[in-house]
Amino acid sequence: MEKELIERIQRGDEGAFAELYQLYAEYALRVAAAVIGSSANAADAVQETFIRVYDHIGRFDPSRSFRPWFYRILINECRRFMKKQRDVIVLSEEMRDADLLTYEERYAFAQYEELYKAIGRLKEKQRIPIVLKYLQGFTDEEIADILDLNVNTVKSRLFKARGQLMKWMKIEGERGATNG
Amino acid sequence: MDERKWDEMIQTALLYGTDEAVEQKEDVWMHIRSRMVKQRRKRRNIGKWVWTMVSAAAAMVLVFLFTAPGQAAIDQVKQWFAPKKVITEEIEGQKEHKEVTLNEGKAGYVIYIDESMYRLETKNGYDRIVPLHQGGANIPPVYMEIRQVTDRSPETVAAEREREVKKKYPIIIQIGKVKEPVAGYVIHGETGHQWNDEVVKYYVVSNGKGGAFIIEQRYFVEASEGHGARFDHMLRRFHIVDQQQGE
């Protein structure tokens, strides 16, 4: 079905392009926000990505899977935005609506917020594979293809990233307990 | 914490953390749409520029043809076309070999017609290629009319026809520039999807002197692969020879 959609876009069907946007936009925005660490820049990166797809769709071979091709463009755009604003790579945006939650929920929410911030503190080379794996469900092989890396390198970066996150969250938990 | 639980936590944290970004989905689409429209306009303008340059080049050739020695050469141009020839064309997936005959239109062109199926006649002062056998009263008329206008550019004529077709025909099949069967603009619309719904297809071709040839095809949906395809095949052998008899 996706192949048919891509072929329609290649024939100049703008309605098909709108359908593609509906299919891909939400997770493209999530991935870009998590990689860049800024919702505003994520919107710009996603916009550029779709324009690039629109301009270059003629070069895409529809017999191949579209998703890795799309995310390769998206990650390149995210990197371009990060290069422009090197100082905005930490996921610093506050999660909202915590005031509306019960004590237990607020505790869980705070944990997720800490974890999200911790993901933002990961090095870019670890953060991008984590985001692609957990937000988009890409396999290690697909991530290797998107990032043009060896699969073992991807496995190693994911392993180290998970270890780093666990370590930070453990420290955070101990600090919370000490503070009462 | 077990690994699966940890994986779920990472995933949930990423979903929570990026919820705000998703709210921009509609705004981002509006920006993309606006940029697509701008790009389309830019491409169209480049296309117009290219078309103007091609028209200018063609005009230079015609200036040569219509100077005194050039005028004398027109008859010679007509002689370049064989009075009859055998061609092969594919209609509804079948290859057909047929003999076609050179016909000269009063609007300043020659075209090869399969006279076992069509004839060139004059209707309301314009050239029309019509089937020898038209359908019944409940079937839309079938013809291809060719006329020349000298007071409007191909771009102006194409824009006029585009407005007309968009107004009368709810289904737009194609609007834009084409290289085949003729180099020019096409405006193609249909009134519906029923077998006998009307089809109109205009081709607008530069006459090389700032004016245009308007080729108007009329048939019905079911005849698209028959008469529609045959008209397009005929246009592959459409040649401008004289610009003197426009509107």
Per-residue model confidence (pLDDT) at position B200:
95
Shared domain check, A113 and A69: no
Shared domain check, A76 and A122: no
Shared domain check, A125 and A77: no
Give the pLDDT band (50/70/90) at residue A94. Answer: very low
The domain tally of chain A equals 2
Whether the per-residue pLDDT at B19 is higher than 60: the answer is: yes
Higher pLDDT, B242 or A49: A49
A134 interfaces chain B, CB cutoff of 8 Å: yes
Shared domain check, A73 and A143: no
Yes or no, beta carbons of B13 and A109 under 8 Å apart: no
Pick the last residue of a domain from A87, A108, A137: A87
Per-residue model confidence (pLDDT) at position B58:
61
Shared domain check, A99 and A58: no
Shared domain check, A74 and A54: yes
Pick the last residue of a domain from A29, A61, A87: A87
Pick the last residue of a domain from A23, A55, A87: A87
* Nearest CB neighbour to A112, from listed B12, B20, B32: B12
Whether the per-residue pLDDT at A98 is higher than 50: the answer is: no
A165 interfaces chain B, CB cutoff of 8 Å: yes
Shared domain check, A175 and A95: yes
Lowest mean pLDDT, pick from A30-39, B125-134, B178-187, B235-244: B235-244
Domain region containing A122: 90-180
Distance from CA of B44 to the nearest CA of A (A): 14
Q: Which residues of A touch B27 (CB under 8 A)?
A: 43
Shared domain check, A52 and A101: no
B215 forms beta bridges with: B146, B203
Per-residue model confidence (pLDDT) at position B243:
46
Shared domain check, A156 and A116: yes
Higher pLDDT, B174 or B74: B174
Shared domain check, A108 and A38: no
Give the pLDDT band (50/70/90) at residue A15. Answer: confident
Q: What is the CATH number of the domain that holds A9?
A: 1.10.1740.10
Q: What is the CATH number of the domain that holds A112?
A: 1.10.10.10
Shared domain check, A178 and A95: yes
Distance from CA of A51 to the nearest CA of B (A): 7
Higher pLDDT, B203 or B106: B203
Per-residue model confidence (pLDDT) at position B219:
93
Highest mean pLDDT among B10-14, B22-26, B121-125, B170-174: B10-14
Shared domain check, A56 and A122: no
Yes or no, beta carbons of B14 and A116 under 8 Å apart: yes
Q: pTM of the full predicted structure?
A: 0.50
